[in-house]
Amino acid sequence: MTMAAPSISDFILLKPISRGAFGYVPEIYTKPSTSPRKVFLGAKKKDSSVLYAIKIMSKAAMRKKNMINQVTAERNALAVSKCPYIVHLYYSLQSESYVYLIMEYLIGGDLKTLIMAAGYLEEPHASIYMAEMVIAVKYLHERGIIHRDLKPDNILITAKGHLKLTDFGLSTLTWSRALRPSDVLYTPSTSRVPLAFYRTPGQVISLTTDLSFRAAPPRPRILGTPEYLAPEMLAFPECQWAGNSPAVDWWALGVILFEMLTGVPPFADDTPEAVFNNILNLDIPWPEEELDENGEAVCLISPAAKSLISSLLSRDPSQRLATAKSVDQHDFFAGVGPWTNLENVEMPFVPCPDDDTDTGYFELRNTAKSYNVTYSGCDL
C-alpha cells in the first residue's frame, strides 16, 4: 500500500484528450494555431495498465484570470464526492507552476458528442441518462456542492455506457474549511463498498494538502455557459444567492433534457444576448406534432417529458426545488425501473473503442467513430 503521495514525475502523458484555457502543453504536443490542451491520457510509469485522465492547470494563468479559488473548489468538490455518477479523483498534485488533478479515464467521450452524432435521443435512452444525473446532482446538493456548469459537454460516458459528471471548475461549496482525511475516506456501511471508492494513504495525503499560490485574489463573478444559465443569474447578476442556489443546477438539467430529446438546447440563438433574451422570456420552441407513417400525429416530446421540462424550467427557483424533492416519482421515469439498480441496466449506447488508450470518442465532434444506439434490440 502506498504510504506517501506520488509526484507528477511518477506519471507519463500518453496523448491529449481535450483543450482548455489554462492548460499546460508539453513541447511534443505544441502545434501552431491550436488551443492549449489541458487534459491528457496518462499512466503511472511503474504501472501503465491503469489509465488516468490528467488535468493540468497553470497557476500563473489562474492567477491572471482570478480563478485560484475555483481550482481549489473543483479539487475539494471532487475529493469529497464518492458517487457512481461523478468522476472519481485519485490524486491532487502540484508543482511550483502547475496543479494536476489525476482522475479516472472515461473512454466513451461526452454526452454532447453523442447527441451531435445521434441527432437526438429517444425517451427511453434520455430517461436513464436523466435519472443518473438526478442522482449525481442530489448527491452534490446534499453535501453542500452546487455544480453551476451542468451541460452535456461536462457529462462523460463510461466504458459500460453510464454517465459521470465532471468539470467542477465553476462549482461553489457552502463550506470553506480545509479538507480533512475523513472527508475523502469512504464511511463503511452494511452495503458492499465499490472498490473504486477506497483510497490509499497516499491518495488521502494528496487530496487534503492545501494548494499553494503566491496570491489569492477575490473570486470574480463568472457565469458559465449562456445556453444553460438560470434566469435569476441574468436578472440579478450582482446577487450572490442567484448563482449559489441549488435551483440553478435543476434549471440546467431541464435544459439538458430538452437538448437530449430534440438535439438542440431550448434557448439557443446566434448571439449570447439573444440567448439571454430567450431565457428571460422563457421562449421555449416546443416541437410541433408530425404525422408518422400511419398518419397518426406524434411529437418528439411526450406529455410526461414536457411536464418535467416545464417544471424544471420554471422562472421561480422555489418551484424548481419543489420539483426536485420528488423528481424520481415523475411519470417521465416510469419505465426506468428501480433507481438503486441503474448501474446494472444494459445501456442503449456502449462505446466500442479500438483499445484501452483510444480517445476517438473525444475527437468527433469526431466523425470517424461509429455511434450505435440500440432500443429494444434494434440499432438506430
Give the three cell numbers for residue 56: 493540468
> Same domain, yes or no, for 182 and 279?
no
DSSP tag of 84: T
Mind listing the pLDDT tens digit for each residue in 4-54? 778 888 999 988 886 543 444 444 433 333 334 488 888 888 877 889 999
Q: What is the CATH number of the domain that holds 187?
A: 3.30.200.20
Instruction: Report yes or no: 320 and 311 within 8 Å, Cβ to Cβ.
Output: yes
Give the three cell numbers for residue 145: 456542492
How many domains does one find in the chain?
Answer: 2
Task: Quote the CA–CA distance of 185 and 77 in Å, as a whole number.
Answer: 13
Q: Percent of the chain at pLDDT above 70?
A: 74
- Cell numbers 476517438 label which residue? 360
Q: The pTM is what?
A: 0.82
Please tell me which residue in 10, 47, 149, 283 is annotated as part of the active site: 149
Task: Quote the CA–CA distance of 80 and 142 in Å, as a whole number.
Answer: 12
Contacts of residue 239, defined as CB under 8 A and 6 or more positions apart, other chains included, come to 232
> Same domain, yes or no, for 200 and 80?
yes
pLDDT at residue 71, rounded to an integer: 85
Mind listing the pLDDT tens digit for each residue in 252-306? 999 999 999 999 999 999 999 999 999 999 999 999 877 777 777 777 899 999 9
- Could you give the 3-state DSSP secondary structure of residue 211? coil
Residue 124: domain span: 109-170+224-380
Query: In the annotation, is 149 catalytic?
Result: yes
Task: Quote the CA–CA distance of 248 and 250 in Å, as a whole number.
Answer: 5
> Same domain, yes or no, for 253 and 197?
no
- 185 pLDDT more than 90: no
> Same domain, yes or no, for 90 and 79?
yes
> Same domain, yes or no, for 91 and 1?
yes
- Could you give the 3-state DSSP secondary structure of residue 377? coil
> Same domain, yes or no, for 339 and 353?
yes
Cα 118 to Cα 85, 154, 287, 302, distances in angstroms = 22, 18, 18, 19
Q: What is the DSSP string of 332-376?
A: GGTTT--GGGGGGSPPSB----SSTT--GGGSBSBTTS---BEET
